[in-house]
Amino acid sequence: MSKRLVNVLFHGTGCYVPSVCWCDSKTFIAVPELLRRRRAMAVIIREFVDGDMSRVLQLLNEQRRGSHEFVPFAEERLLSLMREGRLKIFVAEESHETLGTAAYHDGHWGEEVEWVAVCNVPDGKAVEDALVLEVEKHVKKGKVFTTVDEGSPLVSNWISRGYRPEGGLYQMVADLDGVKPLPQVAKSFIIRSLRKGEENEFVSVVNAGFGWERLKSGEVQRWKVEAPYFSEDWVHVAECDGRIVSAVVAKQDVEYNRSFKGSRGYLGPAATLPDCRGRKLASALTRRAMNFLFEKGMSSAALYTQEQNVASVALLQKLGFHVGHHWKFMWKNLLT
Ligand SMILES: CC(C)(COP(=O)(O)OP(=O)(O)OC[C@H]1O[C@@H](n2cnc3c(N)ncnc32)[C@H](O)[C@@H]1OP(=O)(O)O)[C@@H](O)C(=O)NCCC(=O)NCCS
C-alpha cells in the first residue's frame, strides 16, 4: 500500500508553514482554506484496500444521488473495473476516518479523474484537491479529463485546479413508436444483419471508422456471453462489393431497464469506412437498428456521442434523437 502523508500544521498565531506535504515526493501543496483551522491535522492519501469498499460506495452514492439516471455503484462493478486494471481508487483518511475518495480511470475517451467525493467537512475542497493531485500522478499520457454536468457550479472547482472545458458528451435519446422507412441508399449497397464468421471483419470496420481501437477482437463473442439475448442479428451492416463498409450495433440498455423498469434500447458503436461516408449508410443502418429495437418491444433508444462529432449529432437529430443529457469534458494538460 502506498501512503502519502498530507501534513497540515497550524500555529496559534495564525501564520503557518507549508500547509500540505507529500512526504514521498517532497512536493508542497498550498491549501489556503486550511489556514482557517486552528488545529493540527494529518490527512493520509493512500491506495484503496478491501476494507474501504463499503465506505467508498457510501461516499460515492451519497455524492452521485440525484445525478442524471443515477444508478448506485455496486461492489461488483468497481471490483471488475479494478481487476481489468482500468480503475485505481484512492482514499483520504484522517485518524482512521475516511474523509473522501477519488479514482483514476483509463477509459474510451482517455485518462480520467473518474470521481472525487469527500464527506461534508469544512476543509473538504482542500481534501478534494489533494485527492485529484494523487490521481494526476498516475496519468501516463500527460493529459487528463473529468466530466461535469453542463452548467454545473463544479466547473469553477475544476478550473481552480487547472482544468479547462473542451468538448463534451451528449446522451441522445429517441422515442420508438413504429417501424419507419429506411433512408434510401444506392443499389450497390446491401443493408443486412451481420453473419456468423464476420465478427473480425466487423471489428476492423468499426476500428477503421473510428481511427482507433474502439473494439477489441472477440468483442461480439463477449457481448454474447454477457447478454444471452444478443446475437449477430443485433449488428446491422452495409455491404458493398463483398465487404462490410458500415455498421451499427443495437443492444438492450440492460442497466437502465433494470434500474428504472424501462424498455430502452442502446445503439453503438456506429461507424462507416471513410471512403463510403456521406451516402446515408449510417442513417439507414441506425433507422434499421431503431426499427429492430421497436420490434423487440423497446419504446426508446439511447446512445452517447461527443458534442464535437457534428456528423453524428446531425445524423441522429434527423432520425428523431434529441439531447437527453449533456456533460462537459474538463481537460488538464499535465505537461505544461
Ligand atoms: C458519424 C458517421 C458514422 C456517419 O456515417 P455516414 O455513413 O457518413 O453518415 P450518413 O451518410 O448517413 O450521414 C447522414 C447525415 O449525417 C450528417 N453528416 C454526415 N457527415 C457529416 C459531416 N462530415 N459534417 C456534418 N454533417 C454530416 C448530415 O446531416 C448527413 O445528412 P445529409 O446527407 O442529408 O447531409 C461517420 O462519419 C463515422 O464513422 N465517423 C467515425 C465514427 C463515429 O464518430 N461514430 C459515431 C459515434 S457514436
Ligand 1 pocket test target in 214, 315, 318 with most atoms within 8 Å of CB: 315
Would the CB of 305 count as within 6 Å of ligand 1? yes
What domains does the chain contain, in order, with CATH numbers?
Answer: 3-141 (3.40.630.30), 178-298 (3.40.630.30)
Do 316 and 248 meet the contact criterion of CB atoms below 8 Å apart? no
From CA 45, how far away is CA 131, in angstroms rounded? 7
What are the helix (H) ranges across 100-212?
A: 124-136, 154-160, 199-210
Ligand 1 pocket test target in 169, 236, 277 with most atoms within 8 Å of CB: 277
Residue 41 confidence (pLDDT): 62
Would the CB of 225 count as within 6 Å of ligand 1? no
From CA 281, how far away is CA 292, in angstroms rounded? 16
Residue 107 confidence (pLDDT): 87
Q: Distances from the Cα of 308 to the Cαs of 311, 312, 314, 326, in angstroms? A: 9, 9, 11, 12
Do 250 and 270 meet the contact criterion of CB atoms below 8 Å apart? no
More confident site: 322 or 14 = 322
Mean pLDDT score of the chain: 88
Which residues on neighbouring strands pair with residue 16, listed in sequence order?
none
Residue nearest to atom 25 of ligand 1 (CA): 311
* Beta strands 164-175 and 189-193, pairing class: unpaired
Lowest mean pLDDT among 28-32, 82-86, 126-130: 28-32
**Which atom number of ligand 1 is nearest to the Cα of residue 246?**
7
**Which pLDDT tens digit goes with each residue over 275-318?**
999 999 999 999 999 999 999 999 999 999 999 999 999 999 99
**Which pLDDT tens digit goes with each residue over 254-280?**
999 999 999 999 999 999 999 999 999
Which residues on neighbouring strands pair with residue 169, listed in sequence order?
306, 327
Q: Give me the mean pLDDT over the 94-100 stretch.
A: 93
Would the CB of 210 count as within 6 Å of ligand 1? yes
From CA 5, how far away is CA 9, in angstroms rounded? 12
Q: Give me the mean pLDDT over the 134-143 stretch.
A: 96
Do 170 and 323 meet the contact criterion of CB atoms below 8 Å apart? yes
From CA 260, how far away is CA 250, in angstroms rounded? 19
**Which atom number of ligand 1 is nearest to the Cα of residue 312?**
1
Ligand 1 pocket test target in 272, 286, 317, 321 with most atoms within 8 Å of CB: 272
From CA 33, how far away is CA 127, in angstroms rounded? 10
From CA 55, how far away is CA 53, in angstroms rounded? 6
Would the CB of 147 count as within 6 Å of ligand 1? no
Would the CB of 249 count as within 6 Å of ligand 1? no
Helix-strand-coil split of the chain, %, nearest 5? 30, 35, 35
Would the CB of 270 count as within 6 Å of ligand 1? yes
Question: Quick check: helix, strand or coil at residue 271?
Answer: strand
Ligand 1 centroid – CA 210 distance (Å): 12
